[in-house]
Structure 1
Amino acid sequence: MADPPYGDTPLRVVTADDHPTFRAGLRAVLAAAPDLVLAGEADTGAKAVALAQELCPDVVVMDVQMPDLDGIEATRRLVGTAPSVRVLVVTMFEDDATVFRAVRAGARGYVLKGASFSELLRAIRAVGHGEALFGPGVAERLIDWFTSAPPPVPPDAFPDLSAREREVLQQLALGRRNAEIAAELFLSPKTVRNLVSSILTKLQVADRAQAALRARDAGLGG
C-alpha cells in the first residue's frame, strides 16, 4: 500500500554515508519517489553538518560510522545549530549504547541498514513531517529501557563502570559541566562527552542530572 500523501511540496533530503554503493542506492530510491528530492550528499560527518547548515534540508539520512566525525556527534551539532533539520539515523549498529546515544543526540528516527527501501522511505517521510520513527527491534528496546526501573545501587557502587567513568561520574555528582570535567581530568571535551554518554547508558538514566543523583545516593561527590 502506498504511503499517504503529506502535502504537495517534496521533502528535501541530504544523505550522509561513507559507502558510495549505499549512497547510490539511496539516490536511485529517492529519484523514484515523487514526494522526495535529493538535495545533497556527504561522505563524512563534518561534510554532513556543513552541507545541512548550508542547504537546510528537511531530513538528513545519517550513518553512524564515518570519517572525521561520527554520525552521532554530527547529529548533536546539527540539532544544536539547525534545529529545523531532522535526522534519521540509518546504520548497521543495533547495540543499545549506539541507539541511546543517537536518541540523546536528537535523532528523530533510527533504522537499520537491513531494512527494505520501502521501510526506509516510510521513515524518511515520517521524520520529515515531524514524526519519530524507530525500526521495530529498536523501538522495542527503547520502550523496555525507558519503562524498566533502574537497578538498585550495588554495595560496591557501579561495578559496570570503568575507573575513568567512575571519575567522570564523581565529577557529575559535584555538579560540574563537561568543560570543567575535561580540565579537571586532563581529557578532551569529546572524550568527556563520550564517557558521559556511556555512563548514562550503563546506569539506565535519561540525563546527567539523574546520573548525578544516583551517584550522590551512592556516596560519590561528597
Structure 2
Amino acid sequence: MEQSSEAKQGQEKIRVLVVDDHELLRHGVSAILNRSPSIRVVDEAEDGQQAIEKCREHLPDVVLMDIHMPVLGGLEATRTIKREHPYVKILILTASDTEEMLFDAVKCGASGYILKSASPDEVIDSVRRVYAGEPVIPGNLAMQIISEFAKPAVPTVRQQVDPLTDREMQVLRHLSVGASNRDIAAALYISENTVRNHVRNILEKLHLSNRVQAAAYAIREGYVMEPPHDS
C-alpha cells in the first residue's frame, strides 16, 4: 500500500532535513533514513537558524527537529518554518515524551514527535506517516494535547473561516476521535488520497496547522463524532 501511494507521487523520494546539535546523533539518523529507498536526506543542520536557512534552500518535505539547541531553539525554528512553508511537515526529535514543550511544538505547527531512542524502523515509519499527513503522537499524549487545545488555546476562528462542505464536516468529526486516514477512508467509503485532500482543505479553511489542532477545534466547537455509529 505504501509503495503504491509513493509510486503515484512519481517515484519521488521523501526529502528530509535532519536538525540536531549533536553531530553523532544527526549523522546516525541521516544514515538510518538514507537506508530507506523511499527517503532521501537532503541536508543536516545543527541549530534552529541553520534549519530555517536550509529549509529555504532545499524546501524539504519533512524536517526532523530537535527542541533544545544553541543559537535558535526548535520551537522558534518550527514556528518560522511553518509560517514560511506551511506544507513542510515537522517531526520533533526528543529524549523525553513527558516534555511540556511538546504541547508548544504542536501549537507551533509540528505534526508529532519521535523519541531519540526509537528503533530504525520506527524512525523510518514515522517519517513516512508524517509525510502522508498522519499525526505521529502516542494515544496517551494525543488526548492530553487535544484536551489542552480544546481550551482557549485554539483561536476563536468560527467567524473568519470558510464554511466546510458536508463531506468535510464528516471528515472533521472523524478527526475529533483521532481516526487515521485509512480509518476515515473505510468509514466513508472513499480513498485515502481523497481523505488527505479533505484534511488539507479543512486545515486551510479553519486556518489551522495540523490534525491535532483540527481535532481540538472540533471538540471545542461541538462537532464531535458520536460513538461508533457514524459512517
Q: TM-score range by the shorter chain?
A: 0.5 to 0.7
Residue of structure 2 in register with 1:69 after alignment: 72
Q: Of 44, 47, 52, which aligns to 1:44?
A: 47
CA deviations over 1:66-114 (Å, ceiling 9, x no partner): 1111101100000001112111111114335211100000001212212
In the other structure, the counterpart of 1:182 is: none
User: Which protein is bigger by CA-based radius of gyration?
Assistant: 1
Which of 129, 133, 151 is 2:132 aligned to? 129
Task: Tell me if structure 2 keeps the 8 A contact 1:88–1:108.
Answer: yes
- Give the aligned partner of residue 109 of structure 1: 112
Alpha carbons 2:34, 2:41 under 8 Å: kept: yes
Looking at structure 2, the residues matched to 146 and 40 of structure 1 have their Cα atoms a distance apart, in angstroms, of 33
* Alignment correspondent of 1:191: none
Which of 1, 4, 21 pairs up with 2:2?
A: 4
Question: Pick from 84, 87, 90: which aligns with 1:84?
Answer: 87
Please tell me the residue identity of whatever aligns with 2:130.
V
Deviation at 1:41, TM superposition (A): 0.3
The two structures, once aligned, show a CA RMSD in angstroms of 2.5
Does the alignment pair 1:22 with 2:25? yes
Q: Partner of 2:37 in structure 1?
A: 34
Give the aligned length. Answer: 150
Change (3 A) 1:22 1:96: closer
Q: Secondary structure at the match of 1:133?
A: coil
> SS at 1:80's partner residue?
helix
Q: 1:72 and 1:62 mapped to 2: Cα distance?
A: 9
Unaligned runs of 5+ in 1: 151-205, 211-222
**Which has the bigger relative contact order, CA under 8 A and spacing at least 6?**
2
Distance 1:146 1:73 in 2: 19
Normalised to the residue count of structure 1, the TM-score between the two structures is 0.61
Opposite residue 34 of structure 1, the aligned amino acid is P
How far the C-alpha of 1:36 sits from its partner, in A, is 0.1
Deviations 1:164-214 (A, max 9, x none): xxxxxxxxxxxxxxxxxxxxxxxxxxxxxxxxxxxxxxxxxx89xx9xxxx
Query: 1-side partners of 2:138 and 2:73: how far apart?
Result: 21
Q: Work out whether residues 63 and 89 of structure 1, in 8 Å CA contact, stay in contact via their aligned partners in 2.
A: yes
Per-residue deviation, 1:29: 0.7
Asked whether the equivalents of residues 111 and 135 of structure 1 are also in contact (C-alpha less than 8 Å), the reply is no
Question: Which letter maps to 2:105?
Answer: A
Unpaired segments ≥5 residues, structure 2? 153-215, 221-231
SS at match of 1:60: strand
Shift of 1:138: 3.0
User: CA, structure 1 residues 11+142, in 2 after alignment: closer, same or farther (shift >3 Å)?
Assistant: same
Change (3 A) 1:138 1:113: farther
Distance in 1 (CA, whole Å) between partners of 2:77 and 2:138 is 21
| Structure 2 length-normalised TM | 0.59
The whole-number CA distance in structure 2 between the counterparts of 1:130 and 1:43 is 26
